[in-house]
């Protein structure tokens, strides 16, 4: 083989090798770019799904609140009015009757109706806290605790600190529902002798602290067993808040909710 032919062959091999190398590098960078674009698209799709899920949950919560409002109004206006009319008739019967037994039955029945009316008021205020819209979150929680104390003896302490302010009504209602759920859970299951609720306002944030000295529970097990914790986290997520629950068996439970106000 001539020397020129050998050099030509070497040159062809070098050029071919370089071309293959360039092609490999190009394929590599194309793959990396494609992966980045694919990842970005997946993140975009997930973000859309998250926003859609959040919007669906927001819509569901809004519908639930409307249903609670309708039920509370019906309970107060219709059932409450009927019970008040029955009580009025019993009062007339008690005054007009000359028989002691009838007057005694009428009096006892009136007392029973008073108790039913009391519980209806407590339920309607739990479903639709009237002070929330007018006076804000703190007063609504105070009212909730008041009605709980009237129904049963519980040591629930409430406090606020910082620059107390009003904020978005949807956020106030959502936080109230979260506090209500956590308080109900503590009353039902913890056996606590003390429950403390504290609202701490800062410039841009509201921090809600709820703790009890009850029996505690396994958070991981509770998360897998039911929807209670997921529901709380879902409600918090709707208003872009974060909630963290800590508990140990025999060591009580604490929950921290952090919500940006602006």
- Distance in Å from the first CA to the final CA of the chain: 83
Return the beta strands (E) in the chain as ranges: 156-161, 195-201, 205-212, 242-247, 253-260
Residue 258 has what pLDDT?
93
Mean pLDDT by 10 residues, the chain (262 residues): 56 64 66 62 59 69 73 74 82 80 81 81 78 89 86 83 87 92 89 93 92 90 73 86 92 93 76
Q: How much is the pTM?
A: 0.69
Residue 31 has what pLDDT?
58
Residue 175 has what pLDDT?
93
Q: Is there a contact between 137 and 207 (Cβ–Cβ < 8 Å)?
A: no
Rounded CA-CA distance 256/262 in Å is: 19
Residue 190 has what pLDDT?
87
- Per-residue CA distances from 157 to 43, 82, 135, 200 (Å): 44, 36, 19, 14
Residue 11 has what pLDDT?
61
Residue 151 has what pLDDT?
66
């Amino acid at each position: 083989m001539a020397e020129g032919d050998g050099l030509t062959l070497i040159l062809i091999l070098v050029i071919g090798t370089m071309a293959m190398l360039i092609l490999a590098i190009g394929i590599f960078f194309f793959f990396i770019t494609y992966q980045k674009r694919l990842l970005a698209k997946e993140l975009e799709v997930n973000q859309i799904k998250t926003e859609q899920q959040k919007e669906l949950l927001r819509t569901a919560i809004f519908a639930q609140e409307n249903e609670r409002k309708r039920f509370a109004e019906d309970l107060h206006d219709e059932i409450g009015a009927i019970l008040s009319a029955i009580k009025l008739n019993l009062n007339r019967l008690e005054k007009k009757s000359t028989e002691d037994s009838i007057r005694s039955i009428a009096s006892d029945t009136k007392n029973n109706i008073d108790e039913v009316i009391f519980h209806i008021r407590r339920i309607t205020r739990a479903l639709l806290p009237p002070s929330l819209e007018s006076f804000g979150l703190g007063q609504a929680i105070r009212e909730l605790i008041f009605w709980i104390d009237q129904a049963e003896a519980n040591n629930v302490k409430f406090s606020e600190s910082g620059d107390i302010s009003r904020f978005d009504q949807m956020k106030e209602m959502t936080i109230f529902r979260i506090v209500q759920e956590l308080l109900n859970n503590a009353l039902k299951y913890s056996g606590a002798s003390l429950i403390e609720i504290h609202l701490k306002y800062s410039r841009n944030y509201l921090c809600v602290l709820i703790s009890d000295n009850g029996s505690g529970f396994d958070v991981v097990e509770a998360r897998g067993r039911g929807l209670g914790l997921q529901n709380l986290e879902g409600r918090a997520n709707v208003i872009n808040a974060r909630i963290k629950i800590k508990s140990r068996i025999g060591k009580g439970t604490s929950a921290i909710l952090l919500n940006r106000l602006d």
